[in-house]
Amino acid sequence: MRKILLIGNGAREHALAEALINSKHQVELYAFGQAINPGIKQLSIQYKVGSSSDFEAISAFASEVSPDFVVIGPDDPIGQGLGDFLLQHNNLRSVAPLKITAQLETSKAFTRELMAKYQIPGLPKFKVFHNADGISAFLADELGGNFVIKYDGLLGGKGVKLSGEHLPDINAGVAFAEECLADCDRVVIEEKLVGQEFSLLALADGENLYTFPAVQDHKRAYNGDEGPNTGGMGTYSDSDGSLPFLEANDLQDARQINQQILKAVKTETGTPFTGVLYGGFMVTSNGVRVIEYNARFGDPEAMNLLNLLKDDFVELCEAILAGDLNKFPAEFTKQATVCVYAVPKGYPENPQKGAIIKLNKGDYPAKVYFASVNLLNETDAYYELEMSGSRAIAFVGMGATIEEAREQALTGLGQIEGPIEYRTDIGSGAILQAKIKMMQNLRNS
């Protein structure tokens, strides 16, 4: 029997909870989240509500339940060093990187300078600035006015802004860079890439990678990839483990970059990276480039990928901690997946907070993962839920084709009564063909 403590209360953690409970081993799951997720609560022996930044409270709960290990879902506690704290105070290991290696996510400058130092392929043209001197010239002369500016503060920063989308000209770029410098001691500026983004996630034990199928996220709020950026409106993966616009060498290049990053982090920090290595890539006319790295499962990506596992997730977690992931062949169910989020009306710019929805419990093929909702009432027929203003419920469909998976996911969206919005085109034939055509034109240019 395994006793496992799960940190987090989003849809990603709901998927993690399900994957842990579905183990062939008997599992007692304990959860600690900032709000009660109805799906996680149903799967847990005990559920504690508290801030993910309250390490003392998490440590006390861990002392109370004595888990065999901890699974940390969200990025904030990972970046703040929860894994370090539990190791030091509870002698308890976590399926998550320690703070020094989580810099891959928490510091854009760390990742770019690591890639440059160890000559890792896929590095865009970039420069780290500690003051405003030379920024205007770099934007104009080196990048030709096509640039990306990335805040480099640890957690909760100003984010990423792109020329032409958020920043109309070089003067606006300089102004934003100066805002970033006023908050922290450095800002990362790099070339703006053109192509198609994709994610390649892997479990990491410090030496070995267990690589999942590729997946593509849709950040834009509205159909046709229009509107403001969000936390992710939906994701899809294909039955062959690739994506329709990728070539075989694209995936191979991304795999090799992930492996080189894993090795470089250990060499640079003296600490092995263990947990989830999440490479965010863009395939361009000049090959695969690295956009960023994350140090945890993505949301929605986790819902796609964990549903494709053939291996036992508990055993995979134990292999991460033991350093023997290489004993698993990393084979996956040969199905396509589509995940679509229901969000409150007005999301992301002016979402309806506190709106009430009902989710029917009928017999439909989509899998349900709860995110930013509060359970008000539950009957045999439905859940009554209050939305907090962020992404509310994720629905996952699986099928032989992306279209079949999409149709399944949409059956779930149709079971909600209340003021929600969602994209209907995640994984649609029209949007896939547009992406394929874009990459054909880029490769031939």
What are the DSSP calls for 294-333, one per residue?
ESS--TTHHHHHHTTB-S-HHHHHHHHHHT-GGGS---B-
Residue pLDDT, tens place only, 34-82: 999 999 999 999 999 999 999 999 999 999 999 999 999 999 999 999 9
Residues 271, 207: Cα–Cα separation, whole Å: 11
Dig out the tokens for 79 from the structure: 């970046």
| Cis preceding-peptide flag for 348 (omega within 30 of 0) | yes
Q: What is the mean pLDDT of residues 401-415?
A: 97
What residues does each domain of the chain span?
Answer: 2-96, 125-191, 193-445
- Classify 2-96 by CATH class: alpha beta
CA angle (206 as vertex; 205, 212 as ends), nearest 5: 50
Residue pLDDT, tens place only, 176-209: 999 999 988 899 999 999 999 999 999 999 999 9
Neighbours of 81 (CB within 10 A): 17
Element (H, E) at 343: strand 336-344
Residue pLDDT, tens place only, 203-232: 999 999 999 999 999 999 999 999 999 999
Residues 67, 30: Cα–Cα separation, whole Å: 8
pLDDT at position 154:
60
71 contacts: CB under 8 Å, gap ≥ 6: 4, 5, 6, 7, 16, 20, 94, 95, 96, 317
Lowest mean per-residue pLDDT among 60-64, 183-187, 316-320, 365-369: 183-187
Q: What share of the chain is helix, strand, coil (3-state, %, to 5)?
A: 35, 30, 35
Residue with tokens 């494709």: 308
pLDDT at position 185:
87
In this structure, which CATH number among 3.40.1020.10, 3.30.1490.20, 1.10.10.10, 1.20.1440.60 belongs to the domain 125-191?
Answer: 3.30.1490.20
In the predicted structure, residue 157 carries a pLDDT above the cut 80? no
Strand order, beta sheet including 356-360:
373-378, 382-387, 356-360, 416-417
DSSP 242: S
Polymer length of the chain: 445
pLDDT at position 445:
86
Give the CA count within 13 Å in the CB-facing half-sphere of 198.
Answer: 29
Tell me whether residue 66 is exposed, middle or buried, using C-beta atoms within 10 angstroms of its C-beta: 0 to 12, 13 to 18, 19 or more. Answer: exposed
Residue 247 backbone class (left: φ over 0; alpha: ψ -120 to 50; beta: rest): beta
Neighbours of 46 (CB within 10 A): 14
Residues above pLDDT 90, as percent of the chain: 97
In the predicted structure, residue 316 carries a pLDDT above the cut 70? yes
In the predicted structure, residue 358 carries a pLDDT above the cut 80? yes
Dig out the tokens for 388 from the structure: 């907090």
DSSP 24: S
- β partners of residue 294: 278
Dig out the tokens for 125 from the structure: 């043209």
The amino acid that residue 21 corresponds to is I
Q: Select from 259, 272, 258, 290 the least CA-distant residue to 100.
A: 272
Lowest mean per-residue pLDDT among 154-158, 163-167, 319-323: 154-158
Bridge-based pairing state of the strands 274-284 and 196-205 = antiparallel
Residue pLDDT, tens place only, 90-110: 999 999 999 999 999 999 999
Radius of gyration of the chain (CA): 21
- Classify 193-445 by CATH class: alpha beta
In the predicted structure, residue 155 carries a pLDDT above the cut 70? no
**Average pLDDT score over the chain:** 96
Residues 204, 366: Cα–Cα separation, whole Å: 30
Residue pLDDT, tens place only, 409-438: 999 999 999 999 999 999 999 999 999 999
